[in-house]
A and B are shown apart, each in its own frame.
Chain A
């Protein structure tokens, strides 16, 4: 009898489904940029001071993260950033699974808290990423937050989605995000003004410029062999075969679209940057084709009159691509699409999307900036910065439109005169 009871008990447990779980917030809520988020970090006072004192180091410190009533304990934080690193308002990388390997936060394994130290408005990057997304290109999500360290307000920050395997999975699917057999995400590291010249067959030259974000310990040949192949082809293919040859390594139509967004939004430190190529990740799909992913766009919306082919002549890839008629047309079409999106009104607001977006995002982050104890500018600077961006949004399309008309005009026809670029050359 006893064994029958025990057997029935086992079967009952076997068939039970376990307790129901309460609904949990989602990533979309965390990256919801229509509200000002509140992120709290609890960290040893000594560790926080050490992090600020040694802001140049990548040392991790344990902390607890709280957002929207959810607390994730034992995460790791460290200082982050390049030119914007500082000990007053440190940018932070937040690694959820640094110490507890299975730990996730809303499915995220990491994100960043960007201090946007070089942008008085804090909105340039987020608005630009929004434009990439509206154009159908992969871009990280961003949202504004008040950051509290040990319950003390530490300033206005931008929450950045990490460009990592989780991002790859979200954008391109599970197979591409597979730990072992997924694609290769490479972060471009600016070391010197590089213009996509062929650097020779030695892979170490490319290894210095591209840092793997996935497959970090894969064989050197697997990581960099295709990069070397691609750059050699970019440089050595004939004009006639350029599109077909390079097209095996790079989705050139998407590249032209990427360039169009950067140009329209005046990202002057991007792929065709003023000091060589910069601020992108390169994602290589399992089929071998690569695609550009935007990053660090906090310098964009800079000069309203910057031509859309700024510095194309200096970057081999851009210079050669724009000479291919089909790709040139794809670029022009993408610029027109940018203009259309930027100028898109709503039923009750005649202003274009870009102007409204600047105002909307500025309005969200404004109270956080007003109280920010370590904001490196004055609040007047913030207000003035938003006004400059609004002006940019109002006038940018007319400049680009003129340039596009010029590009479409046959060489033997009279060219429309566009205003000369007064910004940095």
Chain B
């Protein structure tokens, strides 16, 4: 077995949840790694003991209790300078400091250690014992209406180490002005509002690796400005922003990606107020994003773990457009989520005599399902009812995801004989199924164990040509976070 060790300490990272989950926390930006798991429902709230409670009310009560807890913690910090257990039975979630009334700083970290055995079919050896993510950061609130978040990565994860996508050392770095619940402004570096899973923080993910739809086709972080807010008693959340570039997922250290990106996301919870209805937790998201590629390399098809390229990037010239649709549903110990993302890139004037070449299109989807076998309520990251360190076993969750990323055939200019060294441009697709078991030892420690079964349509462009394009990867991820 060959091990890959990675670590990270994340700032806002103890966050991380779906866009919609962020809605449950008024101080969290929709779309940032902010999540309810950074403010999980206290164990003594009704959330676990009364799973049948109205979902919306449940969230609100959680919020109120969380707020009371925050105030209590804050008061304890004023006296002690550091948060302390509020009830003597539960540790605080992360260190905080309140230098003066109205100003509060929260320090958050995340370290991840990943182990990946050799994949025999593809002969993929991970590099032995190498740190990846080590992230640390701070969030601050100033007189309630203003806040900021800064986080820094000290390591290089697999994607960055192999230049699969550009990963700036500065992750989140933005300021926020909250005028009303319906109108909040962010400026700085943060995730473009696009995609459900892409907007989930890493500590709240159900799998070691994000879906192909999120990691390959969704934009990721960049510098820009964004307006967002909640409307109609939280039945709708919106985000719309302008960004100088179109996200680091679509570029590497040597490619510039798109510029002048406009992105928007709308999340609807149409049944939110319907108390005991099965559909109350349902959330539906719509995403659009457009940007400009001026003779730049486009998106390439990467396998789940990024080891293989099954569709090479081509030069593009013109508009890059993304559209997405997603749904999420959580009730009791179960969750279901699905997402569809389509990307198109133009190749204007790139042929002989300035003729346009057909654009390149890609589509990705996934369907994911989780079940907390130990019965905890699913709300982003599980909070174990009986922690390992308190004579319990923690929480166990089963997670299954099936997904596909497909690239359409592109074409090269005639005469094609000239381009014998050009990448193969026939259509290709990666279909993957991930089966995972997540062990939440306590609030701070989680072990993710995933088996990824992948199949590439064209074996000759897969990491496993001798295996007919099929290969299995096992991944273990040990995560510490604050």
> Measuring CB to CB, which residues of chain A are less than 8 angstroms from any residue of chain B?
1-3, 6-7, 9-11, 13-14, 16-19, 44, 58, 60, 62, 64, 73-74, 76, 99-102, 178-181, 187, 202-204, 207-208, 211-213, 215-222
Q: B352, A19: Cβ atoms under 8 Å?
A: no
Spot the interface stretch: B237-245, B328-336, B411-419: B411-419
Q: A18, B418: Cβ atoms under 8 Å?
A: no
B134 contact from A13, A58, A62, Cβ within 8 A: A13
Q: B111, A13: Cβ atoms under 8 Å?
A: yes
Give B1-27 as 1s and 0s: 1 = Cβ < 8 Å from A's Cβ atoms.
000010101000000000000000000
Measured in the bound complex, the distance between the Cα atoms of B146 and A145 in whole Å is 67
CB distance from B321 to the nearest CB of A (A): 20
Question: B465 at the A/B interface (Cβ < 8 Å)?
Answer: yes
B91 contact from A3, A9, A18, A211, Cβ within 8 A: A3
Q: B162, A102: Cβ atoms under 8 Å?
A: yes
- A–B Cβ pairs within 8 angstroms, 12 of them: A3-B444, A7-B109, A10-B481, A10-B482, A13-B7, A13-B134, A13-B480, A14-B9, A58-B420, A99-B463, A207-B418, A222-B295
Across-interface contacts of B130 in A (CB, < 8 A):
18-19
CB distance from B92 to the nearest CB of A (A): 6
Q: B350, A219: Cβ atoms under 8 Å?
A: yes
Give B102-138 as 1s and 0s: 1 = Cβ < 8 Å from A's Cβ atoms.
0000000111010000000011110011110010100
A216 contact from B162, B419, B466, Cβ within 8 A: B419
Q: B131, A16: Cβ atoms under 8 Å?
A: yes
Q: B5, A18: Cβ atoms under 8 Å?
A: yes
Question: B460 at the A/B interface (Cβ < 8 Å)?
Answer: yes
Q: A99, B255: Cβ atoms under 8 Å?
A: no
Question: B358 at the A/B interface (Cβ < 8 Å)?
Answer: no
CB distance from B129 to the nearest CB of A (A): 5
Contact status of A217 and B123, CB under 8 A, knowing A13-B480, A14-B7, A14-B109:
no
Spot the interface stretch: B200-208, B307-315, B429-437: B307-315
Across-interface contacts of B255 in A (CB, < 8 A):
179-180
CB distance from A326 to the nearest CB of B (A): 36
Question: B354 at the A/B interface (Cβ < 8 Å)?
Answer: yes
Contact status of A101 and B307, CB under 8 A, knowing A204-B352, A212-B422:
yes
Question: Which residue of chain B is the closest to A74 with respect to CB atoms?
Answer: B123
Question: B306 at the A/B interface (Cβ < 8 Å)?
Answer: yes
Q: A11, B109: Cβ atoms under 8 Å?
A: yes
Q: A211, B354: Cβ atoms under 8 Å?
A: no
Q: B421, A213: Cβ atoms under 8 Å?
A: yes
Measured in the bound complex, the distance between the Cα atoms of B130 and A62 in whole Å is 28
CB distance from A341 to the nearest CB of B (A): 34
Q: B306, A99: Cβ atoms under 8 Å?
A: no
Question: B62 at the A/B interface (Cβ < 8 Å)?
Answer: no
Question: B391 at the A/B interface (Cβ < 8 Å)?
Answer: no
Across-interface contacts of A181 in B (CB, < 8 A):
254, 256
Q: B412, A217: Cβ atoms under 8 Å?
A: yes
Question: B291 at the A/B interface (Cβ < 8 Å)?
Answer: no
Contact status of A220 and B466, CB under 8 A, knowing A99-B122, A101-B308, A208-B415:
no
Across-interface contacts of A73 in B (CB, < 8 A):
123, 125
CB distance from B84 to the nearest CB of A (A): 10
CB distance from A84 to the nearest CB of B (A): 18
Q: B389, A99: Cβ atoms under 8 Å?
A: no
Question: Which residue of chain A is the closest to B298 with respect to CB atoms?
Answer: A217
Question: Which residue of chain A is the closest to B129 with respect to CB atoms?
Answer: A19
> Measuring CB to CB, which residues of chain B are less than 8 angstroms from any residue of chain A?
5, 7, 9, 91-95, 109-111, 113, 122-125, 128-131, 134, 136, 154, 162, 164, 252, 254-256, 295-297, 302, 306-309, 314-315, 317, 347, 349-352, 354, 389, 412-415, 417-423, 442, 444-445, 460, 462-466, 480-482
Summarize B's interface: helix, strand, loop or mixed.
Answer: loop
Measured in the bound complex, the distance between the Cα atoms of B413 and A202 in whole Å is 14
CB distance from A39 to the nearest CB of B (A): 18
Q: B134, A14: Cβ atoms under 8 Å?
A: yes
Across-interface contacts of B109 in A (CB, < 8 A):
7, 10-11, 14
B351 contact from A6, A58, A220, Cβ within 8 A: A220
Contact status of A217 and B421, CB under 8 A, knowing A179-B254, A204-B352, A222-B295:
no
Measured in the bound complex, the distance between the Cα atoms of B256 and A120 in whole Å is 49
Across-interface contacts of B419 in A (CB, < 8 A):
211-212, 216-217
Question: Which residue of chain B is the closest to A216 with respect to CB atoms?
Answer: B422
Question: Which residue of chain A is the closest to B135 with respect to CB atoms?
Answer: A14
Q: A219, B315: Cβ atoms under 8 Å?
A: yes
Across-interface contacts of A102 in B (CB, < 8 A):
162, 164, 306-307
Measured in the bound complex, the distance between the Cα atoms of B109 and A151 in whole Å is 51
Across-interface contacts of B9 in A (CB, < 8 A):
10-11, 13-14
In order of increasing CB-CB distance, the 9 nearest A-B pairs are A73-B123, A101-B309, A74-B123, A219-B350, A102-B162, A216-B422, A179-B254, A217-B314, A3-B91
Measured in the bound complex, the distance between the Cα atoms of B129 and A113 in whole Å is 34
Across-interface contacts of B482 in A (CB, < 8 A):
3, 6-7, 10
CB distance from A273 to the nearest CB of B (A): 21
Across-interface contacts of B460 in A (CB, < 8 A):
60
Q: B111, A220: Cβ atoms under 8 Å?
A: no
Across-interface contacts of A3 in B (CB, < 8 A):
91-95, 444, 482
Measured in the bound complex, the distance between the Cα atoms of B389 and A294 in whole Å is 68
Across-interface contacts of A76 in B (CB, < 8 A):
465
Measured in the bound complex, the distance between the Cα atoms of B434 and A201 in whole Å is 54
CB distance from A99 to the nearest CB of B (A): 5
Contact status of A6 and B444, CB under 8 A, knowing A11-B109, A18-B5, A213-B421:
yes
B315 contact from A2, A44, A207, A218, Cβ within 8 A: A218
Q: B421, A212: Cβ atoms under 8 Å?
A: yes
Across-interface contacts of A207 in B (CB, < 8 A):
352, 413, 415, 418
CB distance from B86 to the nearest CB of A (A): 12
Measured in the bound complex, the distance between the Cα atoms of B110 and A6 in whole Å is 11
Q: B123, A220: Cβ atoms under 8 Å?
A: no
Question: Which residue of chain B is the closest to A187 with respect to CB atoms?
Answer: B421
Q: B296, A180: Cβ atoms under 8 Å?
A: yes
Measured in the bound complex, the distance between the Cα atoms of B420 and A58 in whole Å is 10
Measured in the bound complex, the distance between the Cα atoms of B309 and A207 in whole Å is 27
CB distance from A186 to the nearest CB of B (A): 10
Q: B465, A2: Cβ atoms under 8 Å?
A: no
Measured in the bound complex, the distance between the Cα atoms of B197 and A111 in whole Å is 40
A6 contact from B124, B162, B480, Cβ within 8 A: B480
Q: A99, B7: Cβ atoms under 8 Å?
A: no
Q: A208, B315: Cβ atoms under 8 Å?
A: no
Across-interface contacts of A101 in B (CB, < 8 A):
162, 302, 307-309, 463
CB distance from A275 to the nearest CB of B (A): 20
Contact status of A219 and B420, CB under 8 A, knowing A16-B131, A100-B308, A102-B306:
no
CB distance from A395 to the nearest CB of B (A): 41
CB distance from A71 to the nearest CB of B (A): 9
Question: Which residue of chain A is the closest to B412 with respect to CB atoms?
Answer: A217
Question: Which residue of chain B is the closest to A18 with respect to CB atoms?
Answer: B131
CB distance from B158 to the nearest CB of A (A): 9
Across-interface contacts of A9 in B (CB, < 8 A):
111, 480
Across-interface contacts of B129 in A (CB, < 8 A):
18-19
Q: A220, B350: Cβ atoms under 8 Å?
A: yes
Q: B307, A100: Cβ atoms under 8 Å?
A: yes
Q: B350, A14: Cβ atoms under 8 Å?
A: no
Across-interface contacts of B134 in A (CB, < 8 A):
13-14
CB distance from A18 to the nearest CB of B (A): 4
Across-interface contacts of B466 in A (CB, < 8 A):
44, 62
Q: A99, B462: Cβ atoms under 8 Å?
A: yes
Measured in the bound complex, the distance between the Cα atoms of B460 and A145 in whole Å is 28
CB distance from A8 to the nearest CB of B (A): 11
CB distance from B212 to the nearest CB of A (A): 15
Across-interface contacts of A7 in B (CB, < 8 A):
94-95, 109, 482
Contact status of A14 and B136, CB under 8 A, knowing A3-B91, A221-B349:
yes
CB distance from A173 to the nearest CB of B (A): 13
Across-interface contacts of A6 in B (CB, < 8 A):
444-445, 480, 482
Contact status of A19 and B128, CB under 8 A, knowing A3-B444, A13-B480, A221-B349:
yes
Question: Which residue of chain B is the closest to A47 with respect to CB atoms?
Answer: B466
Measured in the bound complex, the distance between the Cα atoms of B355 and A219 in whole Å is 10
